[in-house]
Amino acid sequence: MKPSVLVCRAVFPDIVDRLREYFEVETNEADVVWSPAELIQHLQGKAGVFITGTQPIDTALLEACPQLKAVCSMAVGYNNVDLPACTAHGVLVSNAPDVLTETTADFGFALMMAAARRIAESEHFLRSGAWTKWSVDAFAGSDVHGATLGVLGMGRIGRGVARRGALGFGMKVIYHNRSHLDAATEAALGARYVSKEALLREADHLVIVVPYSAAAHHLIGAAELALMKPTATLTNIARGGIVDDAALAQALRDKRIAAAGLDVFEGEPAVHPDLLTVPNVVLTPHIASSSLPTRRAMANLAADNLIAALGLGPNKGKPPTALNPEVLA
C-alpha cells in the first residue's frame, strides 16, 4: 500500500502525477487557504506534506499528526516551520534553495529600478488620463547606474543583486551581513563591508534580503529609516515583518526617503492600508520567484525531497535539500 501525502496548494498537474507514482495523494485543486485546524484535519493519516511558504507547521500540528514524517516546502524561507520542534518529533524538513536565486535577484533589481525611476507612479498618471504635455521634470527619479547599492543580507540572493549592480550598472556596492564575505567574493563584486548604520546612511538604493527570524522582526523601523538619505530608495524582497510597514509608509508620506519597492508585507496577504495611499511605493504580491521555469523547479525540488524523505525513488533516504537530515539517521 502506498504512503499517503498531502499537497497543500494547487501546483503543476504533472508534478502531482510524479508524486502519484509513489504515493496516495490528496490535493487542494481549489487552492483554498486552510486554517491551522483545517490543515490538521487534512493531514490525518498522511506520512508527508508538500507545503509552500505559508502553511504553519508547529508543535500543536505535530502532536495532532503523529504519523507525519516529512514536511517538504517549495519555498526557500521556512520561518513558517518550527524546525526544532520537527526535529524533536523526528520529522524531516526540506526547503528549496538555489533554484530561485537568480530569478529573485532579477526581480529585486527590477523592483528597485521601478521605485528609483518612479515607473508605477508615472504609469498610474498616464492611465488616469492626466498626461497632457511633456515637461522637463516630469516624474524625475534617481539614477541607478553609478549609484551606491546597499545590500542588507549577503546570501545567495543578496550576492545576485550585488553582481547585477556592480557588473551591469557600475554601482558601488556596500553590504552588511552577519559575517564578512571572503576576500575573493568581495573583490569580484567590488563589495565593501560596512556597519548597518553606515549602510543606511550611505546607500542610494537599499535592498533587503535577510531571512526572517524573531531577531530580524522590524529590523528596519522608524529609527533606521531616519538614517537614510531623503533621496534613497528601499526595496524589500526578503520577508514581511523585517520592515515596519507602518513606519515605512509614514517615511514615504513625509518624503524622509524617496521611494520604496515591496514584494513582501507584514501579515500578508493583508497590506498595511497606509501603504496603499502613498504614491511613491511600488507594490507586488510576493512574486519575486514567480517565473514559470523557476516555480516549476521549486515544485520539482519539493517533490524530490518528499519522495526521498519517505524512502522512495532514486534518492531514497537522501533528500537533496534536507534542513535536518539527522532525523533520518
- 239 assigned to active site: yes
Q: Show Cβ contacts of residue 152 under 8 Å, excluding neighbours closer than 6 positions.
A: 158, 175, 176, 177, 196, 199, 206, 207, 208, 209, 210, 219, 220
Q: Which is catalytic among the residues 239, 256, 272, 295?
A: 239
C-alpha cell at 2: 502506498
Contact between residue 280 and residue 85 where contact means Cβ atoms under 8 Å apart: no
Which is catalytic among the residues 89, 218, 286, 296? 286
Q: Which of 24, 201, 268, 296 is catalytic?
A: 268
Print burial letters for 235-263: b (CB count within 10 Å at least 16), e (below 16): bbbbbbbbbbbbbbbebbeeebbbbbbbb
CA nearest neighbour of 257 among 238, 273, 281, 286: 281
Q: Count of CB atoms within 10 A of residue 178's CB?
A: 9
Active-site positions read 239, 268, 286
